[in-house]
Chains A and B, each alone.
Chain A
Amino acid sequence: MKKSALFAAICVPAFLAAAPLAAKTLVYCSEGSPENFYPGVNTTGTSFDASTQVYSRIVEFERGGTQVQPGLAEKWDISADGTVYTFHLRKGVKWHTNKNFKPTRDMNADDIVFMFERQWKQDNPYFKVTSPNHSYFDDMGMPKLLKSVEKVDAYTVKVTLNQPEAPFLADLAMEFAAVQSKEYADAMLKAGTPEKIDQDPIGTGPFYLVQYQKDATIRYKSFPEYYGGKAKIDDLVFSITPDASVRWAKLQKGECHVMPYPNPADLDAMKKDPNVTILDQAGLNIGYLAYNTTKKPFDDVRVRKAINMAIDKKAIVDAVYLSSGVPAKNPIPPSMWSYNDAIKDDPYDPAAAKKLLAEAGYPNGLDTDLWAMPVQRPYNPNAKRIGELMQADLAKIGVKAEIKTFEWGEYRKRMQAGEHQMGMLGWTGDNGDPDNFLHTLLGCASAAGNGSNVAKFCNKSFDDLVTKAKVTTDVKQRTELYKQAQVIFKEQAPWFTIAHAVQLKPIRKEVVDFKLSPFGRHTFYGVDIKGK
Chain B
Amino acid sequence: MLRFILTRVSLVIPTFIGITLLAFFLIRLVPGDPIETMAGERGIDAARHEQLKKDFGLDKPLIIQYGYYIERVLHGDLGKSIVTRESVLSEFQTLFPATVELAVCAILFALFLGIPAGILAAVRRNSIFDHGVMGISLTGYSMPIFWWGLILILVVSVQLGWTPVSGRIDVLYYIEPVTGFLLIDSFFSEDEGAFMSALGHLILPTIVLGTQPLATIARMTRSAMLEVLGEDYIRTAKAKGLSRFRVIGLHALRNALIPVVTVIGLQVGVLFTGAILTETIFSWPGIGKWLIEAIFRRDYPVLQGGLLLVGVIVMSVNLIVDLTYGLINPRIRHNR
Q: Report whether A21 and B85 are in contact in the complex, using a CB–CB cutoff of 8 Å.
A: no
Contact of B164 among A245, A255, A407, A451 (CB under 8 A): A255
What CA separation (Å) do A246 and B94 show in the bound complex?
24
Interface residues of B in 177-222 (CB under 8 A from A): 177-178, 189-191, 193
CB nearest neighbor in A for B289: A215
What CA separation (Å) do A246 and B281 show in the bound complex?
7
Query: What are the interface flags for B166-181 relative to A under an 8 Å C-beta threshold, 1 for contact and 0 otherwise?
Result: 1110111111111000
Q: Report whether A410 and B280 are in contact in the complex, using a CB–CB cutoff of 8 Å.
A: no
**What are 7 pairs between A and B in contact, CB < 8 Å?**
A20-B172, A20-B193, A35-B83, A135-B44, A214-B285, A410-B33, A412-B36
A-B residue pairs, 10 tightest by C-beta: A409-B36, A215-B285, A216-B285, A407-B31, A18-B190, A20-B172, A241-B283, A249-B165, A237-B171, A5-B176
Interface presence of B51 (CB below 8 A): yes
Interface presence of B48 (CB below 8 A): yes
Q: Which residues of B contact A16 (CB under 8 A)?
A: 174
CB nearest neighbor in B for A379: B41
Chain A binding site: helix, strand, loop or mixed by DSSP? mixed
User: Interface residues, chain A, CB within 8 Å of chain B?
Assistant: 1-2, 5, 8-9, 12, 16-21, 25, 27, 32-33, 35-36, 43-44, 128, 130-133, 135, 138-139, 195, 199, 211, 213-217, 219, 237, 239-243, 245-246, 249-250, 252-253, 255, 377, 406-410, 412-413, 416, 425-428, 450-452
Interface presence of B39 (CB below 8 A): yes
Query: What are the interface flags for B1-43 relative to A under an 8 Å C-beta threshold, 1 for contact and 0 otherwise?
Result: 0000000000000000000000000000011110111111111
What CA separation (Å) do A36 and B82 show in the bound complex?
11
Among A17, A215, A377, chain B packs the most CB atoms within 10 A around the CB of A215
Q: Which residues of B contact A133 (CB under 8 A)?
A: 38, 44, 48, 52
Q: What is the CB-to-nearest-CB distance from B33 to chain A, in angstroms, rounded to a whole number?
A: 5
User: Interface residues, chain B, CB within 8 Å of chain A?
Assistant: 30-33, 35-46, 48, 51-52, 55, 83-86, 91, 94-95, 98, 150, 153-154, 157-158, 161, 164-168, 170-178, 189-191, 193, 280-286, 289-290, 293, 298
Q: Which residues of A contact B35 (CB under 8 A)?
A: 409
Q: What is the CB-to-nearest-CB distance from A234 to chain B, in angstroms, rounded to a whole number?
A: 12
Q: Report whether B158 and A138 are in contact in the complex, using a CB–CB cutoff of 8 Å.
A: no
What CA separation (Å) do A110 and B218 show in the bound complex?
68
Contact of A195 among B83, B85, B95 (CB under 8 A): B85
Q: Report whether B283 and A452 are in contact in the complex, using a CB–CB cutoff of 8 Å.
A: no
Q: What is the CB-to-nearest-CB distance from A391 to chain B, in angstroms, rounded to a whole number?
A: 23
Instruction: Evaluate whether A1 and B177 lie within 8 angstroms (CB atoms) in the complex, with A242-B280, A253-B157 already known.
Output: yes
Q: Which residues of A contact B173 (CB under 8 A)?
A: 20
Q: Report whether A409 and B174 are in contact in the complex, using a CB–CB cutoff of 8 Å.
A: no
What CA separation (Å) do A246 and B55 show in the bound complex?
38
Q: Report whether A243 and B283 are in contact in the complex, using a CB–CB cutoff of 8 Å.
A: yes
Contact of B46 among A35, A131, A214, A450 (CB under 8 A): A450
Contact of A426 among B41, B158, B164, B172 (CB under 8 A): B41
Q: Which residues of B contact A35 (CB under 8 A)?
A: 83-84
Among B41, B189, B283, chain A packs the most CB atoms within 10 A around the CB of B41
What CA separation (Å) do A452 and B42 show in the bound complex?
7
What CA separation (Å) do A241 and B39 show in the bound complex?
24
Q: Report whether A43 and B40 are in contact in the complex, using a CB–CB cutoff of 8 Å.
A: yes
What CA separation (Å) do A18 and B185 show in the bound complex?
11
Q: Report whether B189 and A213 are in contact in the complex, using a CB–CB cutoff of 8 Å.
A: no
Chain B binding site: helix, strand, loop or mixed by DSSP? loop
Instruction: Evaluate whether A249 and B158 lie within 8 angstroms (CB atoms) in the complex, with A5-B176, A20-B172, A416-B43 already known.
Output: yes
Q: Report whether B157 and A249 are in contact in the complex, using a CB–CB cutoff of 8 Å.
A: yes
Q: Which residues of B contact A408 (CB under 8 A)?
A: 32, 37
Q: Report whether A43 and B39 are in contact in the complex, using a CB–CB cutoff of 8 Å.
A: yes
Q: What is the CB-to-nearest-CB distance from B158 to chain A, in angstroms, rounded to a whole number?
A: 5
CB nearest neighbor in A for B197: A20
Q: Report whether B52 and A213 are in contact in the complex, using a CB–CB cutoff of 8 Å.
A: no
Q: Which residues of A contact B40 (CB under 8 A)?
A: 43-44, 412
What CA separation (Å) do A2 and B98 show in the bound complex?
14
Q: Which residues of B contact A245 (CB under 8 A)?
A: 150, 153
Q: Which residues of B contact A451 (CB under 8 A)?
A: 43
Q: Which residues of B contact A215 (CB under 8 A)?
A: 95, 283-286, 289-290
Instruction: Evaluate whether A252 and B168 lie within 8 angstroms (CB atoms) in the complex, with A20-B173, A240-B283, A408-B32 already known.
Output: no
Instruction: Evaluate whether A36 and B174 lie within 8 angstroms (CB atoms) in the complex, with A43-B39, A452-B42 already known.
Output: no
Instruction: Evaluate whether A413 and B280 lie within 8 angstroms (CB atoms) in the complex, with A406-B31, A408-B32 already known.
Output: no
CB nearest neighbor in B for A249: B165
Q: Report whether A139 and B42 are in contact in the complex, using a CB–CB cutoff of 8 Å.
A: yes
Q: Report whether B285 and A450 are in contact in the complex, using a CB–CB cutoff of 8 Å.
A: no
Q: What is the CB-to-nearest-CB distance from B11 to chain A, in angstroms, rounded to a whole number?
A: 35
Q: Which residues of A contact B52 (CB under 8 A)?
A: 132-133
Q: Report whether B37 and A409 are in contact in the complex, using a CB–CB cutoff of 8 Å.
A: yes
Among B44, B55, B153, B165, chain A packs the most CB atoms within 10 A around the CB of B165
Q: Which residues of B contact A255 (CB under 8 A)?
A: 164-167, 170-171
Instruction: Evaluate whether A18 and B191 lie within 8 angstroms (CB atoms) in the complex, with A410-B31, A450-B43 already known.
Output: yes
Q: Which residues of A contact B283 (CB under 8 A)?
A: 215-216, 239-243, 246
Contact of A18 among B98, B153, B189 (CB under 8 A): B189
CB nearest neighbor in A for B38: A43
Q: Which residues of B contact A407 (CB under 8 A)?
A: 30-32
What CA separation (Å) do A45 and B91 show in the bound complex?
22
Q: What is the CB-to-nearest-CB distance from B150 to chain A, in angstroms, rounded to a whole number?
A: 6
Q: What is the CB-to-nearest-CB distance from B54 to chain A, in angstroms, rounded to a whole number?
A: 10
Q: What is the CB-to-nearest-CB distance from A428 to chain B, in angstroms, rounded to a whole number?
A: 8
What CA separation (Å) do A17 and B189 show in the bound complex?
8
Q: What is the CB-to-nearest-CB distance from A275 to chain B, in angstroms, rounded to a whole number?
A: 12
Q: Report whether B51 and A132 are in contact in the complex, using a CB–CB cutoff of 8 Å.
A: yes
Q: Report whether A214 and B176 are in contact in the complex, using a CB–CB cutoff of 8 Å.
A: no
Q: What is the CB-to-nearest-CB distance from B67 to chain A, in angstroms, rounded to a whole number?
A: 25
What CA separation (Å) do A166 and B80 show in the bound complex?
40
Contact of B39 among A8, A214, A409, A428 (CB under 8 A): A409
Q: Which residues of B contact A249 (CB under 8 A)?
A: 153-154, 157-158, 165-166
Q: Which residues of A contact B284 (CB under 8 A)?
A: 215
What CA separation (Å) do A12 and B91 show in the bound complex?
24
Q: Report whether B174 and A21 are in contact in the complex, using a CB–CB cutoff of 8 Å.
A: yes
Q: What is the CB-to-nearest-CB distance from B275 to chain A, in angstroms, rounded to a whole number?
A: 13
Q: Report whether B41 and A425 are in contact in the complex, using a CB–CB cutoff of 8 Å.
A: yes
